[in-house]
Structure 1
Amino acid sequence: MQNETTRIAFLVAIATLIFLLVPVFLILYIRSYNRHKKNHFLEKQNMQQKFESEILQTRIEVQDQTMQSIAAELHDNVGQLLSLTTLTLNSVNLNDGEKAKKKIDNSLALVNKSIKELRELAKLLHGEQLVENGIGHAIDQEINWLSKAGKYELEVNNQLIDLQITSPDKDLIILRLLQEIINNIIKHAHAKHIQINAYLDKNVLHLKVAEDGIGFDPVEMKGKKTGMGLNSIYKRMEMINGKLVLNSAPEEGTSLTIEIPYP
């Protein structure tokens, strides 16, 4: 009988302990859950702030690239056209009517060409509006500026011109990525031919740029902190959950393929 009483007392003690411990564990679980929830919120908020900061930095870089393009265009193209117009008009001899008319006509043609170039510059000044018009138009504008250099044979397949959907933040980053790639080609590649393909397939935007320049060792270059801006490109690809495929070898050219969930 005493053993039975002891066993019952023991079971009651165990039940009481469990009854007391369950609320404690429940409180600890709730506190732990709330702490994780708070940390998750702070982490998410921090990621959002980093994303917004990167978008702002990208916008500044796009604007800076725009200003550089405008400065180069004013100096190399519009400035030369206006100087040539001035020289032509200064050489007009009104006593020779036929030659004077021909030179004035040539001057008018130069002025009209200058006006056309200035209109193109005006479009470039509205860089953000260009992105708002769609990534296809932004890519097309960059290709137009590249073609004006007259240094490369361009093969372009831009299927994004008539794209009906947009993603302004992603479009801005994609535009900046293309600018960085083109700048790398101009500065380092010594290429003669550039191929650019852009299209959308199954909600994934594909952008491929290939050139026949001197190439490089991707493994060696990726290890360098400042190598050709590749770290910046990889960083921005991660930010928008994109995928970058880089193929290159010395003396065999380079190809970069970008795949981004879109929109």
Structure 2
Amino acid sequence: MQNETTKIAILVAISTLIFLLMPIFLLLYIRSYNRHKKNHVLEKQNMQQKFEAEMLQARVEVQDQTMQSIATELHDNVGQLLSLTTLTLNSVNLSDEVKAKKKIENSLQLVNKSIKELRELAKLLHGEQLVENGLGHAIDQEISWLSKSGAYELQVNNTLSESDYTSPDKDLIILRLLQEIINNMIKHAQATQIQIDAYLATNVLHLKVKENGVGFNPDEIKARKSGMGLNSIYKRIEMINGKLILNSAPGKGTSISIEIPYP
């Protein structure tokens, strides 16, 4: 009987202890859950802040690149057109009516062409030809600047202009990625041929750039963690859940393939 009483006492004691400890464990669990929840919220806020900061940086860089393109266009294209107009008008001999009329007509054509070029530049200044009109149109504009240099044989397949899909945040970063890639090629590749493909397939945006330049060793660049803007490119692709495939070798050119969930 005493053994039974002892067992009952022990069971009561254990039950009491469990009953007393349960609220403590519950409080500790709630505290731990709230701490993790708070950390998760802070982490999301930090990620959002980083994304917004990166978006702002990309926007500034796109605008800066656009302004550089406009400055080049004003100097190399519009400036030359106006200089040619001035030369043509200065050479007009009013005593030779036929030749004078022809030169004045040519001058008017040059002026009209200059006005058309200035209108296109004005649209750029107002952002009408950046990502607001769609990524495909913005890519066409970048390729247009590249084409006007006359330094490259271009092969372009851009079907994004035919798509109605847009993703303003992603579009801005993708445009900046293309600008960085083109700038790297201009500075380092010594290429003569460039192929650019941009298209959508099964909700994935594909951007491929290939050139026949001097090439490089990708592993060596990664090991140095610097050079050619690759770190910036990788970081931005990671931000929009994309994937980059880079193939290059000394003397064999470079190809870059980017895949991004879209829109």
In structure 2, the residue matched to 1:203 is: 203
Q: 1:147 to 1:129 in 2, by over 3 A?
A: closer
Q: Structure 1: how far apart are the matches of 2:134 and 2:79?
A: 31
Q: 1:66-145 counterparts in 2 under 5 A?
A: 66-127=66-127, 130-145=130-145
Moved more, 243-252 or 109-118: 109-118
Q: CA deviation at 1:8?
A: 0.7
1:167 and 2:182 correspond = no
Q: Structure 2: how far apart are the matches of 1:185 and 1:127?
A: 25
Q: Structure 1: how far apart are the matches of 2:128 and 2:176?
A: 12
Moved more, 168-177 or 219-228: 219-228
Q: Deviations over 1:174-220 (max 9, x none)?
A: 00000011111111111111111111111110000001111000111
Q: Structure 2: how far apart are the matches of 1:78 and 1:241?
A: 41
Instruction: Could you tell me which runs of 5 or more consecutive residues in structure 1 were left unpaired when the two chains were aligned.
Output: none
1:218 and 2:218 correspond = yes
Instruction: Could you tell me which runs of 5 or more consecutive residues in structure 2 were left unpaired when the two chains were aligned.
Output: none
Q: Structure 2: how far apart are the matches of 1:207 and 1:15?
A: 67
Q: CA deviation at 1:3?
A: 1.3
In structure 1, the residue matched to 2:235 is: 235
Q: Using structure 2 for the length normalisation, give the TM-score.
A: 0.97
Q: Deviations over 1:198-251 (max 9, x none)?
A: 111111100000011110001111233440111110010111111011000011
In structure 2, the residue matched to 1:25 is: 25
Q: CA deviation at 1:128?
A: 6.2
Q: Structure 2: how far apart are the matches of 1:76 and 1:122?
A: 16
> What is the DSSP-based 3-state SS (H/G/I as helix, E as strand, rest coil) of the residue aligned with 2:151?
coil
In structure 2, the residue matched to 1:244 is: 244
Q: Which amino acid aligns with 2:251?
A: E
Q: CA deviation at 1:124?
A: 2.1
> What is the DSSP-based 3-state SS (H/G/I as helix, E as strand, rest coil) of the residue aligned with 1:156?
strand
Q: Percent identity?
A: 81
Asked whether the equivalents of residues 66 and 127 of structure 1 are also in contact (C-alpha less than 8 Å), the reply is: no
Asked whether the equivalents of residues 215 and 252 of structure 1 are also in contact (C-alpha less than 8 Å), the reply is: yes
Q: 1:129 to 1:73 in 2, by over 3 A?
A: closer
Q: Which amino acid aligns with 1:99?
A: K
Q: Using structure 1 for the length normalisation, give the TM-score.
A: 0.97
Q: Structure 2: how far apart are the matches of 1:117 and 1:129?
A: 14
Q: Structure 1: how far apart are the matches of 2:58 and 2:108?
A: 40
RMSD of the alignment, in Å? 1.1
Q: 1:258 to 1:126 in 2, by over 3 A?
A: farther
Q: Structure 2: how far apart are the matches of 1:60 and 1:10?
A: 73
Q: 1:251 to 1:127 in 2, by over 3 A?
A: farther
Asked whether the equivalents of residues 129 and 138 of structure 2 are also in contact (C-alpha less than 8 Å), the reply is: no
In structure 1, the residue matched to 2:188 is: 188
Q: Structure 1: how far apart are the matches of 2:130 and 2:51?
A: 22
> What is the DSSP-based 3-state SS (H/G/I as helix, E as strand, rest coil) of the residue aligned with 2:130?
helix
Q: Structure 2: how far apart are the matches of 1:132 and 1:17?
A: 67
Q: CA deviation at 1:126?
A: 3.1
Q: Deviations over 1:135-186 (max 9, x none)?
A: 1111111111111111111111111112111100000000000001111111
Q: Which amino acid aligns with 1:30?
A: I
